[in-house]
Chain A
């Protein structure tokens, strides 16, 4: 039962990505190409997702606990540190180069397009390398 709820949550997210255009690198890169073939669609994706999440969280986080878990597990870290800002800078560079972000790419694996598979394989490699680096040096 618990696993079914995770599946459904993932499915809703995947359908949302599919409908929104967030899984289409051409649209993503055009969103950032204000000086060129600009397509402002993605501001509507972010806006729509943020409004629903902002309002939904206000209601949900007012409850004593989640429906199927003991407690809310919220990221507690507060400080703005170098890994956060440096990581965000690096992520942006990669997003601009490839046009896929992780949440945009994962669902469209389901289209069977080989481009997505290559991107996700490279993404996983990057995550593994960064984890190794973190484990040794940070």
Chain B
């Protein structure tokens, strides 16, 4: 499945993701990691610790509605894999981000921006294994 190259939209979207990360640090002194935020809703460190995380997730989920308001359509979500693959992928991602203490937002954006060695190692590692996985699925198995 081909997708259109969208450098400007992607750059602008990236700026907004960065802005959210900076605001999170400026206001609340925390990194913006989707994994940590989500895990904290399920397993709060203390009794009231999940509420702000749930509100943050609610804000994230409202993003497409604001996009709809601004552009007149929802953002494209095209899934190029079967439902079983999606479920297996989701489960594996859940394992990986928990053991690895973070994902693309936590390690790839916030940690890299702090020049954290752990995050740089994690990001290079998952970018490489994602590349290899896509190569194996699309060109060795699928090809």
Contacts and interface: CB of A to CB of B under 8 A. Distances in A.
A122 B91 CA distance: 5
Interface string B77-92: 1111101011111111
A25 B79 contact: yes
Contact of B10 (A7, A48, A72): A48
A5 B14 contact: no
A96 B77 contact: no
Interface residues of B, number: 111
* Interface size range of chain A in the complex: 35 or more
B58 to A, nearest CB: 6
A12 B23 contact: yes
Contacts of B3: 21, 24, 26-27, 30, 37, 39, 41
Contacts of B66: 11, 14-15, 18
A59 B122 CA distance: 25
Contacts, number: 500
A84 B122 contact: yes
Interface in B101-140: 101, 103-105, 107-114, 116-118, 121-123, 125-135, 137-139
Contacts of B83: 115, 118
Interface in A90-109: 90-109
B13 A48 contact: yes
A118 B83 CA distance: 8
Contacts of B129: 88-93, 96
Contacts of B30: 69, 72-73
B4 A119 contact: no
Interface of B: 1-35, 38-39, 42-43, 51-52, 55-67, 74-81, 83, 85-101, 103-105, 107-114, 116-118, 121-123, 125-135, 137-139
9 tightest A-B CB contacts, nearest first: A126-B94, A14-B63, A98-B89, A10-B59, A87-B100, A20-B13, A48-B14, A52-B18, A96-B133
Given A36-B138, A103-B103, 11 more contacts: A23-B75, A25-B77, A48-B15, A72-B30, A84-B100, A84-B121, A85-B121, A96-B137, A99-B79, A119-B90, A127-B35
